[in-house]
Structure 1
Amino acid sequence: MYLHLWLAAQKLIGGTYGKQRLALSHYPGGSVLEIGCSVGNVSEAFAGRTNDFLGQDIDERALQIANKRLDTLKFTSEPLEALNRKFDYVMIAGVLHHVDRATSLELVRQAKRLAGPNATIMSYDPLPVHPNASIPRKIIGGMEAGRFLRPLNELVSLYEESGIPVSDSYVYPLSAWKTAIPEIFDLGVVVAKQP
């Protein structure tokens, strides 16, 4: 029940549509690996766009919901280390702010390992809420925050330490709904091309 409520909250105020637009804006076509897919709120954007999608998460209950909602996409709880194939697009979807630096580095290294030649690797994570932010940003940003929020330069450093040359990094203001307002918090986006 909790995960269904979380999915509804993400669609209402959590910026699902903005996250989907962001994910698609870097999609080069071809196969997709979404690391941290949860119940599939961002995965949904790829339904009908690719026949080769794999969403990975460690939460079995979330994956059950994703499988029921999105039966044309494939989901797994298999550890990243056990996956033995390459993807054209590897996305780390709002996971890094929930894990410590060592685990974040390992996730980025696994993304690099699973990215095929010329693949795009992209991650996004909430940035720390600025002390002068609006009240809606403070409230919603506080609800979205994990224990390991990092500024954009620290997100970039995870790629650099993993030997992945960053091609772009920027702040993406996320809105609650399909419209550009109200903005609820900022995402730090890091993009790399696999050589």
Structure 2
Amino acid sequence: MMDAGERIDDDRLAELRADYVGRLHGRVLELGAGEGENLDLLSAGVIWAGIEPDDERRDRLAAAADAHGRPAPFAARAEELPLPDESVDAVLATWVLCSVDDLPAALVEVRRVLVPGGRVVFVDHVIAPPRTLKRFVQHTVTPFTAHFQHGCHWNRDPASALAEAGFAGLDVRRHTVTGRGPLGMPVLLFDGVLAA
């Protein structure tokens, strides 16, 4: 695992996100697919399904999915996935784990829909290391960001939640993205599998 203090810029983060998303194959479920920002990054043979709970974003996502020859997204939340057990090979989420209402419940659903040994790719901002000014700021502003920014929690630690849910990391990196506020933005890139 990379040191949480390693600093990268937005361009490098975009390169890393493209690399991680491009690793997925087979039937891929994207959680909180937004407006379709990851559609161009998927491998050609991917069979994509997406969920997006926000009505306005889902409308734009549906148009983007149609333009890419993909099916319309589901109106659903990560905590209640409208798919059968063991029905996807991989689950993708970028900038989503910070805003789900119940992260442990969402990860239970991810486990349910994944085939045994299925793959997960998550990219998200995360809580800063202990005893740092950034961590103090994150704890202070989270009640406001959760209310005003689509449920975004600046102080989430998805890495520990992923481990507790039984996901094993294959390529896990932490970075601080410069240019995102005076203290930078801590991010986690997680490529892993559902452990047996």
TM-score by length of 1: 0.66
Percent identity between matched residues is 15
Q: Is the 8 A contact 1:91 1:122 kept in 2?
A: yes
Q: Pick the aligned partner of 2:50 from 26, 37, 55.
A: 55
Cα pair distance change 1:96/1:57, threshold 3 Å: same
Q: Is the 8 A contact 1:18 1:175 kept in 2?
A: no
Q: How many residues align?
A: 161
Any gaps of 5 or more consecutive residues in structure 2?
A: 1-9, 135-144
Q: Pick the aligned partner of 1:24 from 21, 24, 27.
A: 21
Cα pair distance change 1:77/1:44, threshold 3 Å: farther
Counterpart in the other structure of 2:137 = none
Deviation at 1:20, TM superposition (A): 4.5
TM-score by length of 2: 0.65
Question: Pairwise mapping of residues 68-147 of structure 1 onto structure 2 (< 5 A)?
Answer: 68-71=63-66, 72-74=69-71, 75-79=73-77, 80-84=80-84, 86-100=87-101, 103-128=102-127, 131=133, 147=152
Cα pair distance change 1:189/1:174, threshold 3 Å: same
The aligned amino acid for 1:76 is F
Deviation at 1:131, TM superposition (A): 4.8
Bigger helix share: 1
| Alpha-carbon distance in 1 for matches of 2:25, 2:53 | 26
Deviation at 1:149, TM superposition (A): 2.1
Counterpart in the other structure of 1:37 = 33
Residue 170 (structure 1) aligned with residue 173 (structure 2)? yes
- What is the CA RMSD across the aligned residues, in angstroms? 3.4
Cα pair distance change 1:87/1:172, threshold 3 Å: farther
CA offsets 1:2-58 (integer angstroms, 9 cap, x no match): xxxxxxxxxxx8999447514425x24211111010111123322x61351011111
Greater RCO structure (CA 8 Å; 6+ sep): 2
**Moved >6 Å (runs of 4+):** 13-16
